[in-house]
Amino acid sequence: MRQRGSVIVLVAAAVLLFGYVATHRDPVHRPDPPPAAATPPGLPRVVGERAFGPPGLKLLVTGQHPQIIDTSTGRVSPVPGVTLSDGERAAVEIVPAGTVVTEIAPSASRTRTTLVPARGGRPVLLGYSVVVVPARHGAGLYVSSHDSGRTKVTITTAAAVARSSWTVGGTVTPLRDTAAGLVVQQIGDRGVAELRVLDPRSGATRRVLSVGGILVSVGPDSVAYVPPDCHGDCPLSVTGSGSGPAPGARWRAGRPTGRTRCGCCRPSRPGTSRSRR
């Protein structure tokens, strides 16, 4: 009789416990997670707040999953002609001749760069561990390769066929083809980086822009850099690639001062003013 009473008490306690749980649920309403957006196979998901961009604006994304994002529709598509193996990444640049693709493999000690022609067709190999810069006029390319203390720069046609070449000492990295010449960063035997303007056809030095400066950006007709002798609150100097330094083109730690602008690294009134914050 006593055992039967204990069973009844346990059953009653269990009923009370379940009743309490049923009537004291979490009052906070948690919305269902948003449905995942449709993404083409092989491409990563795009998460976060989304909004449509203006018609015609597309974003080129490089890395392990190169892709093109149409901001007006949100659609994602692969970059034509780019095929990567597992673990590889790619730096992609659109140039007049087509698409320059630099493949980076984690197990390889050098990169592989190809050109996917704009007119279509198979990719053309430009070289291994090279730097490619488009020509200012036309659809040609400057392709630089370094070997044994010197750099060879090859000038190609739009079809990536070598047209001419020249060689200079040290490690030369082409930055941009400008109206004044080919702007490069050259590191010689002393290990000091120099910003120079070279003759695109021969490689001869036309002008030394900076010795030891830290490059920030290269515009169509000027170069922005931080002087090498700066400590602390550093000004940003802008030098015309074909003229002398622009005294008015100086900034303090990322904030423009005076009548200058840094969007394309070109002073609005070169040589007319100097202001410091």
The confidence score (pLDDT) of residue 8 equals 64
Q: Is the pLDDT of residue 208 over 50?
A: yes
Put simply, whether the predicted model's pTM sits higher than 0.75 gets the answer no
- Residue 263 identity (one-letter amino acid): G
Q: Is the pLDDT of residue 242 over 50?
A: yes
The confidence score (pLDDT) of residue 185 equals 92
Q: Is the pLDDT of residue 271 over 70?
A: no
pLDDT tens column, 95-111: 999 999 998 888 878 89
Interacting residues of 92 by C-beta distance below 8 A, sequence separation 6+: 60, 62, 66, 79, 82, 99, 100, 101, 102
Work out the average pLDDT over 213-233. 81
Percent pLDDT > 70 in the chain is 70
CA distance 169 to 186: 9
pLDDT tens column, 64-89: 778 888 888 888 888 877 777 778 88
Position 12 confidence tier, pLDDT thresholds 50, 70, 90: low
Q: Is the pLDDT of residue 24 over 80?
A: no
Number of residues written out for the chain:
277
Q: Is the pLDDT of residue 249 over 70?
A: no
The confidence score (pLDDT) of residue 151 equals 95
CA distance 43 to 35: 17
More reliable by pLDDT, 121 or 175: 175
Supply 123's token pair: 């990719």
Helix/strand number for the chain, H first, E second? 1, 20
Supply 169's token pair: 């000492």
Supply 272's token pair: 């007319």
The confidence score (pLDDT) of residue 175 equals 93
What does each C-alpha distance from 96 to 39, 54, 65, 93, 116 come to in angstroms?
29, 24, 23, 10, 11
